[in-house]
Amino acid sequence: MKDYKLYLIDLDGTVYRGDETIASGVNFVHRLQQEGKDYLFLTNNTTRTLEMVVEKLAKHGVVTDTKHVYTPSMATATYILNKHPHDKKIGVYIIGEIGLKSEFLNEHCEFQLNEENPEYVVVGMDTDLTYHKVRVATRAIRNGATFIGTNADLNLPLGDELIPGNGSQCEFIAAATGQKPLYIGKPEPIIVDMALKLTGHTSDETLIVGDNYNTDIRAGFNSDVDQLLTLTGVTTKEDIAGKRKPTILVNSLDEYKI
């Protein structure tokens, strides 16, 4: 078994499933911690702040800190800042919840909310999406604002239900504007590349771990990072029949030897 130096770990479907703890996922993190392995929770969820993610993990038996969490909110802010290294204020219009807004407005003073003529429209999951928000976003994009989606998830699991995800919201706006968004989160390589830079590790010494073939595993394919697919979440063996196989496939993370 390859000796990986960094593990990029998905959350929902891997460590927990909604409010339900996935024991094999929690045990896997505990084993990484005991072995002193470097890890980063790489989630597509932008609705929670880093502190909220850490608090939720604690409820499932995982004790960690904000330095071990990386979200599309963080990656999106960094992506834009890298495009404007010397600008004092960057106008943004944000559709999203506290996790996304907090990252842009509390963590980075370079950003300024602007509904009239923003340079960027950033769209994250928003369970309070309104027609007014879509209208403002549409007008700004038609007037030249860059359209960024934090992730392209069309659906999200909620109990036994699949609910509309951020990708569905972005499709709404894309249809209204004729502009496709630039996506940052998994399966795009942008968020993985930024996570690697943050940790100082290379792609060939990293393993991405998750339950979703279309996001987690494809993120590995797209960024040349090895992949571990656990069948404790949304993807089944039948789902990947005839498709490119992940580096490692397990029924649960208890089967993986660190």
Per-residue model confidence as pLDDT tens digits over 150-204: 999 998 877 778 899 999 999 999 999 999 999 999 999 999 999 999 999 999 9
What span, in angstroms and rounded, lies between the C-alpha atoms of 7 and 49? 21
**CA 91 to each of CA 12, 65, 122: distance values in angstroms, whole numbers, following the listed order:** 32, 31, 11
Topology alike, domains 6-44+186-255 and 86-183: yes
Query: Which residue in 154, 150, 156 sits closest to 181, CA to CA?
Result: 150
When pLDDT is cut at 50, 70 and 90, the band that residue 91 belongs to is: very high
Per the model's pLDDT, the better-predicted residue between 96 and 157 turns out to be: 96
The tokens describing 225, both together, are 């990072």
Give yes or no for a contact between 159 and 18, defined as CB atoms under 8 angstroms apart: yes
Q: What is the pLDDT of residue 85?
A: 81
Quote the CATH superfamily of domain 86-183: HAD superfamily/HAD-like (3.40.50.1000)
pTM: 0.95
pLDDT for the residue numbered 83: 93
Domain ranges across the chain: 6-44+186-255, 86-183
User: Contact 9/33 with Cβ under 8 angstroms?
Assistant: no
CA angle, 218 then 224 then 229, to 5°: 45
For residues 67 and 225, give the distance between their C-alpha atoms in angstroms, rounded to a whole number. 21
pLDDT, position 64: 98
For the 6-44+186-255 domain, the top CATH level (class) is: alpha beta
Alpha carbon of residue 149 to chain centroid: 11
- pLDDT given for residue 218 in this prediction: 98
Q: How far apart are the C-alpha atoms of 53 and 201, rounded to whole Å? A: 23
Cβ proximity of 105 and 73 under 8 Å: no
